[in-house]
A = this chain, B = another copy of it.
Amino acid sequence: MIEKSYSSEQEFLLNYNPNLYDRPSTSVDTVIFTVFDKALQVLLVQRDDYPFKHKWSLVGGFIDLENDLTLEDTAKRKLEEKTGVKTPYLEQCLTIGNKSRDPRGWSVTTIYFALLTYEDIELKAGKGAIDIKWSPIIKERITDKLAFDHDQILKLAIERLRNKVLYTSLPAYLMPEKFTLRDLQTVYEIILDRTLEVKSFRRRIAKADILEETSEMRQDAKRPARLYRLKENIHTHFFLRNIEGAVNN
């Protein structure tokens, strides 16, 4: 390769040829979580084409270099394409890059995770996929063997979510508009896969000051329960202490 020398930034850029350098493949994958049927669920799509044709995988794709301005745009675009909704919570989780994860060669993928309310979501397989579904996570496992290293990625995302739930109000993003404190606690319990103390939980949520009472009550069977909603313009609350008795590596 011949190295030229330039006399200004501008001149360098005018002569810059991106094809002189080999680049790894770069993609974005999003672990889209929701909760229903007493389980944490993750959105999977069945691949329409090679590699891993017909295998189930996480929601992901390549950056649209023309139209995506940021990596997060790519994640949001794919998410909205599949679910038809905008996510109330999207967090970058990790980037995995190595020579072996994709049979086509060096590949880098940035992983996001999203939390969605299971409500009004109409799944659309869209192009590149022949099917799409929610898959429940039972004991940190799903039934399918996923494409690429998506099993490992899913495991990492679950770990991150579970750990973060110990000191944040993240599960609030999984709730419908109105919900009871018991509903919220149940979502915490589903994610953590353990029961929590009622009193401690309610004290914690009260202290966080993220909810507001509605005037409504909901009655399923016995004593009616107060309905709450998330306060407006509230961000994730970070508690100073973890919920205890859980894994902490």
Q: Is the CB of B50 within 8 A of A6?
A: yes
Which listed segment binds B: A16-24, A115-123, A170-178, A215-223?
A16-24
Chain B residues near A104 (CB, 8 Å)? 13, 16, 18
Residue of chain B at shortest CB distance from A6:
B50
Chain A interface residue count: which class? 35 or more
Quick one: which of A52, A63, A94 has the most chain B CB within 10 A? A63
Known: A92-B95, A110-B110, A240-B241. 20 other contacts (CB 8 A): A6-B50, A9-B51, A9-B53, A12-B53, A13-B103, A21-B25, A22-B65, A23-B26, A26-B108, A63-B106, A70-B97, A70-B98, A71-B108, A92-B94, A95-B110, A108-B108, A235-B249, A238-B249, A240-B242, A241-B242
Q: Top 7 closest A-B pairs, CB basis?
A: A12-B50, A71-B97, A70-B98, A95-B95, A23-B23, A240-B242, A95-B110
